[in-house]
Structure 1
Amino acid sequence: MSSKLAALIVLGLASASPALAAGQADAKGFVEDSALDVLLRNAYISRDYKQGRQDKAEWGQGAIANFSSGFTQGTIGVGIDAFAAYAVRLDGGRGRAGAGGIDFFYQNPTTGEVDDDLAKGGASIKLRLSNTVLAYGDLRPNLPVLNHDSSRLLPESFTGTMITSNEIDGLELTAGTFHAQSRKSDEGRDSGGLKGIDVIGGSYKFNDALSASVYASDVEDVLKRQYLNLNYTMPIASNALTFDFNGYRTQFDEDFDANESKNRIWSLAATYATGPHAFTLAYQRSSGDVGYDYGFYQNAGGIGDGGNSIWLANSYWSDFNGKDERSWQLSYAVDFAQYGFPGLSYRVAYVRGSDIDAGTTRNGKEREFFNQLSYKVQNGAAKDLNVRLRASALRVSDDARAYNTSGNEVRIFIDYPFSVF
């Protein structure tokens, strides 16, 4: 047994309190609490670039089945989770698909050919003592320093061990160690080329108004990263003003970057919610030797911590994460339920970034105009079917093209989840 795995087990046993053993005490059985859910996803993304870069577009149909067993009865419950996914490419030829673009399907780096379909799956075993769960196998973490990317046709996954403890009301503690990453566009369990990543942290809800979380990660031979979040909601009559702070501190290892570069990036968003309306003003700041780098896969120059591991206010198509970049956001969201259209919502945002250090200049600029219309069917045979229509117009100054590229993006996602049992 590895020292990391042993440490996780000790942590779980130490945090499990018999006085708060309701979680496992309420176990109904392996079969009795089992569930099988399926998600059918039809997804299309198109990017029309404006500064000489090749346009990209892909369209595919995917199906993801998720099985989650209950826990056996007794002091320590045992269960199994598993998933299977398949996707077929409907369009994306003529050089518009593959890595460096949308990345629905794997592109052979030698021939440039893109796969026509994609099949993958995985499973994990889980043990529960009190309100603490230890899981080993193919997992899909949802953490600010290791968040599996589900923003494409199929999600990615990581192989390793993770423990989650909820022994104290309002407090969740998490620790994990992973040694393989399965790319969202490839079938191999180790297709991401990840050496290893360790994560640890927790979140605590002090009361209905205030919550906080702290996490840290260590990607072997790549970087060490810390994350902090503070969220506070101030009631104002029947309305609410919410302040949300997110911040990352990153230092690259010498094996990955001889200069051991550092980056700090943070955002502060204030959202005023009144009835069905929400107005947000946000500021984001990046500083240090380099910009914030994240996601993708290590053998292609990326980090290996999940393509969605950037929980910042100004993250849309662009993440406004360039070196020394400062960005402002103004956005508006509305829920049409109060107007007789339950399930229909709309969001529009404008973000402007400046002071980007792109090597040739320290005054690079970018701006994005974002729209998203979403509708979820409320009842009937198609209940829970969700349609998302998203469009972004991104413009980057010519002197910042080494950092980003101008373009127009369209995303159309149709998700239909349903329960088999």
Structure 2
Amino acid sequence: MSKTPLARAVALATLGASLTLPGMAQADFIGDSKATLELRNFYMNRDLRHTTSAQQSKREEWAQGFIFKAESGFTEGTVGFGLDAYAALGVKLDSSDERAGTNLLPNAFGDEGPGEYSEATGAAKVKISKTVAKVGGMMPKLPSVSSNDARLLPQTFLGGHLTSNEIDGLTLHAGQLKEQNQRDSTNFEDLSVNAGGGIRGFTFNGKGNVGDDFNFAGLSYQLTKDLTASYHYGELEDLYKQHIFNLVHVLPIADKQSLKSDVRYARTTDDGHSNIDNKSFGAMFTYALGSHAFGLGYQSMSGDTGYAYINGTDPFLVNYVQIGDFANKDEKSWQVRYDYNFSAFGLPGLSFMTRYLNGDNIDRGPGISDGKEWERNMDITYVVQEGTFKNLGFKWRNATLRSDALGELDENRLIVSYTIPLM
């Protein structure tokens, strides 16, 4: 595995901190520790129906992942110290030069790549009262930046993250990310903007779509037991600044009935070396009735460009789904969704989801007609609830995309995962 100087420094700092721990009170450090090993078997097939015979027509690969995560507790005292560790190994089970490029493995069309790849990070953390600061490897899950875990191994970052819960109902976040390791890579690299297949309307100068550090801050406050409001700020230096607002309300209607409203608005502007200018509005309403859930969503893009977010991450958009994000310049899209939990039939752990999205009004450039696209998804999931194989999970994800922007794609993902608690 290749490591940048920053990655090596983080690893050495974590090792140095671990050597000092034997002299400290370690009751909470050991007693509150936890570690898991996830075994993740992943098959993916993407039929590229829009390509010509001279281009790649299919991506199909199968791989096995081993994901180790460990989190210590904190040493006793006013200031507590702790350590986190992450290591992962991906093993190729089936691939070829003609079928590479699913993002399960570090390869591309024409080169099936190595038989295995690995990655590891460590992090040191400190706690005072209800405030925790962490420096090193991390997988943030915030509206401004959310690590992607939709392939064999997760996306990771190097940086610092402070989380505070000193006031009941209020959570504060602040930090900086310096580098990222993509889900199909072993190398940490500079942060960049997702170019969206070239139809976001972005233009860059200087270093192209590569930025410097990503600075973030935000707060989430539970106004009532049913209403939560949040604001998050993200800045990829030189490229964009983003303000994200979110309201989530759950209205109890009757026994086993509720209506959830999730409303999101984001304003994104350039930071000197791009033309990024976007207003994003999205709303998702979900009516739950017993084991059923019915969802209806709407998303609108306006401004001079599409929506901007760090390459490889999950954008905070209601219409971001299995393949598409429906976040192109001027695009308007809607979604209908249905979920069912089979526990009502005596099959706990079995669930089903299907949704359909349709987008139009995509600005594809001067002299080109507006683009359209639609996507259909289906997920079937089963997780063993008890016994020797408790938490053994099976998932089938199916998607169909027809897009003037991204082409015609048919996709299947089969995932078997099993998480073993180690302590």
Q: TM-score, normalized by length of structure 2?
A: 0.84
Q: Structure 2 residue aligned with 1:332, among 334, 338, 342?
A: 338
**1:166 maps onto 2:165 in alignment:** yes
Which residue of structure 1 lines up, in the alignment, with residue 155 of structure 2? Answer: 156
Range moving further from structure 2, 231-240 or 369-378:
231-240
> 1:139: how far off?
1.2
- 1:239-278 alignment runs, 5 A limit: 239-255=257-273, 257=274, 260-278=275-293
CA distance in 2, matches of 1:294, 1:113: 29
Matches of 2:141 and 2:175 in 1, distance apart? 12
Name the CA distance, whole Å, in 2 between partners of 1:191 and 1:263.
Answer: 23
CA distance in 1, matches of 2:330, 2:394: 36
Alpha-carbon distance in structure 2 between the residues aligned to 1:113 and 1:378 = 37
Residue 47 (structure 1) aligns with: 46
- CA deviation profile, 1:19-61 (whole Å, cap 9, x unmatched): xxxxxxxx95211111111111111221112211632222210
1:129 aligned to 2:128? Answer: yes
Q: In 2, distance between residues paired with 1:32 and 1:314?
A: 39
Letter in 2 for 1:319: D
Asked if structure 2 preserves the Cα contact closer than 8 Å seen for 1:324 and 1:355, the reply is yes
- Two-structure CA RMSD over aligned residues (Å): 1.9
Post-superposition shift, 1:293?
Answer: 3.5
**Aligned residue identity for 2:135:** Y
Contact 1:325–1:356, Cα closer than 8 Å, also in 2: yes
Is the aligned partner of 1:105 residue 2:105? Answer: yes
> Paired residue for 2:418?
416
- 1:335-346 to structure 2, matched below 5 A, reads 335-346=341-352
**Shift, 1:315, TM fit:** 2.9
Q: Structure 2 unaligned segments of length 5 or more: list them.
A: 1-25, 192-209
Q: Distance in 2 between matches of 1:393 and 1:346?
A: 17
Instruction: Give the deviation of 1:195 after TM superposition.
Output: 2.7
Separation in 2 of the partners of 1:157 and 1:187?
10
Distance 1:225 1:92, change over 3 A: farther
Where 1:30 maps in the other structure, the secondary structure is helix
* Equivalent position to 2:407, from 402, 405, 408: 405
Distance in 2, matches of 1:217 and 1:261, equals 14
Task: Give yes or no for contact 2:282–2:317 (8 Å, CA) kept in 1.
Answer: no
Instruction: Provide the C-alpha distance between the structure 1 equivalents of 2:259 and 2:188, rounded to a whole number of angstroms.
Output: 44
- 1:361 is displaced (CA, Å) by 3.3
Deviation at 1:108, TM superposition (A): 7.1
- Cross-structure match for 1:88: 91
Classify the secondary structure of the residue corresponding to 1:31: helix
SS of the residue corresponding to residue 29 of structure 1 reads helix
Aligned partner of 2:220 in structure 1 is: 203
8 Å Cα contact 1:66/1:83 also seen in 2: yes
SS in 2 for 1:337: helix
Counterpart of 1:74? 77
Task: Specify whether residues 49 and 282 from structure 1 end up closer, same or farther in structure 2 by C-alpha distance, changes over 3 A only.
Answer: same
1: distance between equivalents of 2:309 and 2:415? Answer: 24
For residues 224 and 150 of structure 2, the distance between their equivalents in structure 1, rounded to whole angstroms, comes to 31
Aligned-partner residue type, residue 222 of structure 1: L
Displacement after TM superposition at 1:362 (Å)? 4.5
- Deviation for aligned residue 1:113: 4.9
- Alignment partner of 1:350 out of 348, 356, 375: 356
Shift of 1:132: 0.3
Question: Quick one: percent identity of the two aligned structures?
Answer: 36
Look up the match of 2:392.
385
Query: Where does structure 1 differ by over 6 angstroms across 4 or more consecutive aligned residues?
Result: none
Q: CA deviation at 1:261?
A: 2.7
After TM superposition, give the deviation of residue 340 of structure 1 in Å: 0.5
Q: Judge conservation of contact 2:337–2:355 (CA < 8 Å) in 1.
A: yes
| One of 59, 63, 86 as aligned partner of 2:62 | 59
Q: Which position in structure 1 is the counterpart of 2:12?
A: none
- Whether the 8 Å CA contact 1:247–1:312 is kept in 2: the answer is no
Judging changes above 3 Å, is the alpha-carbon distance between structure 1 residues 28 and 230 closer, same or farther for their aligned structure 2 residues?
farther
* Structure-2 residue corresponding to 1:282: 297
Q: Tell me the amino acid that sits aligned with residue 288 of structure 1.
A: G
The corresponding residue for 2:174 is 175
In the alignment, the residues of structure 2 paired with residue 231 and residue 406 of structure 1 have an alpha-carbon distance, to the nearest angstrom, of 34
